[in-house]
Amino acid sequence: MCQENNEETTDRRREVQTAAPPETIVTPSDTSNLECHICRLKVLTKVKTDLDG
């Protein structure tokens, strides 16, 4: 059961990465903004995982 959940989460992460629009290409000035975005993504992923059980 844990294995299934892990695979499901990995698939979701892949979907998120694949769905990223082209304008998310990183430039050096965007680094701090990117870190913030990654942090928010991690939190959202964790919340979604917790909700799914």
pLDDT at 17: 57
Total domains in the chain come to 1
Q: Are 13 and 53 in contact (CB under 8 A)?
A: no
Residue 6: domain span: 2-52
pLDDT at 22: 65
pLDDT at 2: 47
pLDDT at 29: 61
Residues of the chain with confidence (pLDDT) below 50: 1-2
What's the CA gap between 30 and 24, in Å, rounded? 9
pLDDT at 1: 41
